[in-house]
């Protein structure tokens, strides 16, 4: 009986047919097909049929956490992913370093020139300046994320996540004042604090020597922080508490790192691991194989299928599928391990966004009832022995296969 679990999540790999073909059908995938032949197959609705899942709620469901209960917004997950030690009750926000007009007046009257500040990423000094110089009526932590991104948490009494975004979501418009979405004192207070933070951080950033130097060089200054996606950090049972199993996470994206940390897992950093096609695939697979020696369950998350589909790049997605398939060769010789291959959602080329289509899922374990499927793709999977399941069904199936599920009833 297997004692370990390796869950390979191929982010957005599933697709809809174009001329009766998907990237998975076109790509040469001998290793994924070999796993399908060795296992039991089916299709899976990450949330439920027709629901377009985000990567955040998709991953929560795959790990057995009902998103309708535990998901309060992307802010807490992004904050955890940056390395902030989030606490229950914190109000967390996603943030972009952005460029607004260089003119006097209220921050909320200045048009946004670039929501990403030209994707400027050397923001450590700017974060430090805001943390050192800005004073709020509550504790706050600002930390940089990847690229132009950052995360903010507010910590204290009388705080609420029931407020609107500051980010206008498009250039040419001024930032929006945060407003309370409910008539509660905590929401009114939080909106006030967010607006004070937005104004105050802008005053600090526009005067910073780094931004002055960028402006003089004709580059876009990172002179503003646009907040969005507020969420309240919930009380969430750790993976260890829920299943009695340790969790390791190998990923190049801050969002999935955040989910791993929120669930009490250990994130394994890999040099060169990104969410793009240039990611260090071989390094991530080696790290996952090393991690399986130390953890009961290891998540190996690979992102770029989703990125390429968002770009509408059919051939690019095919090439990346083949690249990953080739790199998966060492996985085939893994022993005493339940191997799961699936996706957190579909990202069709034709849609350039997530869809509610189900995704293929393969489970390889000595205890499975092997079916006759010999290809890992969207069309073969529905005929497999798993039939159609939900994301929340996956962990109970795995727990039963590895012999640690508790009996229900007498």
Give mean pLDDT in consecutive 10-residue pieces for the chain, a chain of 410 residues.
90 97 98 98 97 96 96 89 91 94 90 90 93 95 89 95 94 96 96 97 94 87 94 93 97 91 94 90 97 97 95 97 98 95 98 97 96 97 97 97 90
Q: Specify if 314 maps to a domain.
A: yes
Identify whether residues 167 and 193 lie together within a single domain: yes
Q: Specify if 409 maps to a domain.
A: no
Identify whether residues 248 and 279 lie together within a single domain: yes
| H, E, C per residue of 375-398 | CCCCCCHHHCCCEEEEHHHHHHHH
Identify whether residues 246 and 393 lie together within a single domain: yes
335 Cβ contact partners less than 8 Å away, ≥ 6 residues apart: none
Q: Specify if 408 maps to a domain.
A: no
| Model pTM above 0.85 | yes
The whole-number pLDDT of residue 370 equals: 96
Q: Specify if 302 maps to a domain.
A: yes
Structural domain total, the chain: 2
Identify whether residues 118 and 183 lie together within a single domain: yes
Identify whether residues 136 and 172 lie together within a single domain: yes
Q: Which of 183, 214, 232 is the last residue of a domain?
A: 232
Strands 4-10 and 337-342: parallel
Identify whether residues 262 and 392 lie together within a single domain: yes
Q: Which of 173, 208, 232 is the last residue of a domain?
A: 232
Neighbours of 88 (CB within 10 A): 10
Identify whether residues 257 and 146 lie together within a single domain: no
Q: Specify if 410 maps to a domain.
A: no
Identify whether residues 96 and 131 lie together within a single domain: yes
Residue span of the structural domain in which 259 resides: 4-72+235-401
Q: Which of 232, 265, 287 is the last residue of a domain?
A: 232
The whole-number pLDDT of residue 254 equals: 85
Identify whether residues 300 and 385 lie together within a single domain: yes
Q: Specify if 32 maps to a domain.
A: yes
Cα–Cα dist 81/319, whole Å: 29
The whole-number pLDDT of residue 1 equals: 64
Identify whether residues 56 and 124 lie together within a single domain: no
- CATH code for the domain of 380: 3.40.720.10
Q: Specify if 26 maps to a domain.
A: yes
Cα–Cα dist 221/100, whole Å: 8
Cα–Cα dist 208/104, whole Å: 15
Identify whether residues 89 and 38 lie together within a single domain: no
Q: Specify if 346 maps to a domain.
A: yes
Identify whether residues 164 and 297 lie together within a single domain: no
């Amino acid at each position: 009986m297997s004692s370990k679990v390796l869950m390979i999540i191929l982010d957005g790999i599933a697709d809809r047919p174009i001329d009766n073909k998907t990237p998975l059908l076109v790509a040469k995938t001998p290793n994924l097909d070999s796993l399908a032949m060795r296992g039991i197959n089916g299709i899976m609705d990450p949330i439920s049929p027709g629901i377009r899942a985000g990567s955040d709620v998709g991953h929560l469901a795959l790990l057995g956490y009902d998103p309708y209960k535990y998901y309060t917004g992307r802010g807490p997950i992004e904050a955890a992913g940056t390395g902030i030690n989030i606490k229950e009750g914190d109000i967390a926000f996603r943030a972009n370093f952005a460029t607004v007009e260089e003119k006097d007046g209220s921050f909320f009257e200045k048009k946004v020139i670039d929501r990403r500040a030209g994707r400027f990423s050397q923001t450590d000094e700017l974060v430090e300046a805001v943390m050192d110089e800005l004073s709020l009526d509550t504790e706050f932590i600002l930390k940089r994320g990847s690229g132009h991104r950052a995360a903010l948490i507010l910590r204290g009494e009388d705080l609420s996540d029931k407020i609107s975004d500051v980010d206008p979501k498009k250039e040419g418009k001024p930032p929006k004042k945060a407003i309370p979405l409910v008539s509660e004192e905590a929401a009114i207070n939080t909106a006030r604090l967010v607006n004070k933070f937005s104004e105050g951080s802008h005053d600090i950033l526009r005067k910073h020597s780094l931004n002055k130097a960028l402006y003089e060089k004709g580059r876009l200054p990172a002179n503003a922080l646009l907040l969005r996606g507020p969420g309240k950090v919930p009380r969430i049972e750790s993976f260890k508490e829920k299943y009695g199993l340790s969790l390791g996470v190998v990923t190049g994206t801050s969002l999935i790192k955040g989910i791993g940390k929120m669930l009490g897992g250990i994130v394994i950093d890999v040099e060169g691991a990104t969410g793009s096609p240039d990611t260090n695939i071989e390094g991530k697979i080696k790290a996952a194989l090393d991690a399986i020696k130390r953890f009961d369950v290891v998540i190996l998350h690979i992102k770029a299928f989703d990125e390429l589909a968002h770009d509408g790049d059919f051939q690019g997605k095919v090439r990346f599928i083949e690249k990953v398939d080739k790199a998966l060769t060492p996985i085939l010789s893994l022993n005493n391990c339940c191997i799961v291959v699936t996706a957190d959602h579909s990202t069709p080329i034709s849609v350039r966004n997530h869809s509610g289509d189900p995704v293929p899922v393969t489970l390889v374990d000595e205890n499975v009832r092997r079916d006759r499927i010999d290809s890992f793709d969207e069309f073969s999977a529905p005929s497999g022995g798993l039939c159609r399941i939900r994301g929340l069904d996956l962990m109970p199936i795995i727990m039963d296969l590895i012999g640690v599920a508790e009996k229900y009833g007498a």
